[in-house]
């Protein structure tokens, strides 16, 4: 009998944008769905989400992770959304061993699946029947730590585990422009294009983006940027280069660019833009936790 587990499972970085993308049909969510349709069924998914940004390295190890609604000001329909994917305690324990000598704690009850994970997986694997674990972003560590940790995860792909980073290359909600739903400021475009050049040509040099003159504007906080380093680390570990899955902007200060590794999909270039954040007159964008 021939196994349907691939020799090397794909990896991806998804620019997730607003949590409302969970419920939206647009060119970004269609690209995420196309990715899920194109890849062989994985044994599990390991997600590095911008929204588990804490002072420790940990991995979820509960058999039934809860759906965390970690945002503010969005409709009740989104607050009621559930993504009941099973966990994978055995995989969590394996991850803790793989990344040694890095210490990685097993989280049995504190976290779950936050919206950086389920807003994307609701489209990638809408049946919620693939086991999912999350790896935290250790807020106390430098970029090199996250890049190296991503590289350490490479053996998981040989076992059919998809590694997925979820954040945004450019993410500055304090400079969000409600009047620019599908465009970006010049500084955001410059940084996004510089990131694209490095990711698709020489991902091992991803750390050089800190030298970019627009880095401070594009990455005022590291949480949404760091998941990109994990995919760059995976690419460097296998001497491969990511492809662009979809690109575009929202609100002048968000990049929706997504990358895949060993999973080429057609670049989605037509259709509606990203889902909105709440009215800034009601909830300022930087207070939504998008």
CATH number, domain containing residue 124:
3.40.830.10
Assigned domain for 146 exists: yes
As to burial, measured by CB atoms within 10 angstroms (0-12 exposed, 13-18 middle, 19+ buried), residue 33 is middle
What tokens does 285 get?
């964008």
Q: Are 33 and 115 in contact (CB under 8 A)?
A: no
The yes-or-no verdict on residue 1 having pLDDT over 80 is no
Assigned domain for 113 exists: yes
pLDDT per position as a tens digit, 170-214: 999 999 887 877 889 999 999 999 999 999 999 999 999 999 999
The tally of domains found in the chain comes to: 1
How many helices (H) does the chain have, and how many strands (E)? 9, 12
CB neighbour list of residue 206: distance below 8 Å, 6 or more residues apart: 143, 147, 195, 198, 199, 228, 229, 232
Assigned domain for 238 exists: yes
pLDDT per position as a tens digit, 176-187: 887 877 889 999
CB neighbour list of residue 186: distance below 8 Å, 6 or more residues apart: none
Assigned domain for 189 exists: yes
Assigned domain for 5 exists: no
pLDDT per position as a tens digit, 5-40: 447 999 999 999 988 999 999 999 999 999 999 999
Domain of 210 in residue numbering reads as 11-287
pLDDT per position as a tens digit, 85-105: 999 999 999 999 999 999 999
Give the integer Cα–Cα distance in Å for 205 and 211.
11
């Amino acid at each position: 009998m021939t196994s349907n587990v691939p020799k090397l499972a794909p990896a991806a970085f998804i620019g997730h944008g607003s949590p409302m993308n969970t419920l939206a049909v647009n060119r970004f969510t269609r690209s995420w769905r196309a990715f899920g349709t194109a890849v062989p069924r994985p044994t599990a998914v390991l997600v590095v989400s911008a929204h588990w940004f804490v002072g420790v390295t940990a991995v979820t190890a509960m058999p039934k992770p809860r759906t965390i609604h970690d945002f503010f000001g969005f409709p009740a329909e989104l607050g009621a959304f559930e993504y009941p994917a099973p966990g994978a305690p055995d995989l969590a324990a394996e991850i803790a061993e793989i990344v040694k000598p890095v210490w990685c704690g097993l989280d049995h009850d504190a976290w779950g699946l936050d919206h950086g994970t389920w807003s994307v997986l609701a489209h990638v694997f809408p049946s919620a029947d693939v086991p999912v674990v999350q790896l935290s972003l250790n807020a106390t560590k430098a970029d090199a730590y996250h890049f190296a940790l991503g590289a350490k995860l490479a053996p998981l792909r040989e076992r059919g585990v998809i590694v997925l980073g979820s954040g945004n290359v450019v993410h500055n909600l304090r400079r969000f422009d409600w009047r620019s739903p599908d465009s970006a400021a010049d500084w955001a475009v410059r940084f996004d294009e510089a990131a694209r050049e490095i990711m698709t040509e020489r991902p091992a040099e991803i750390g050089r983006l800190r030298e970019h003159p627009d880095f401070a504007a594009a990455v005022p906080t590291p949480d949404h940027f760091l998941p990109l380093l994990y995919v760059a680390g995976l690419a460097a570990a296998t001497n491969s280069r990511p492809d662009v899955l979809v690109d575009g902007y929202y609100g002048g200060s968000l990049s929706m660019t997504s990358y895949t590794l060993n999973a080429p999909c057609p670049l989605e270039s037509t259709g509606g833009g990203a889902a909105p954040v709440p009215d800034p007159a009601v909830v300022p964008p930087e207070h939504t936790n998008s």
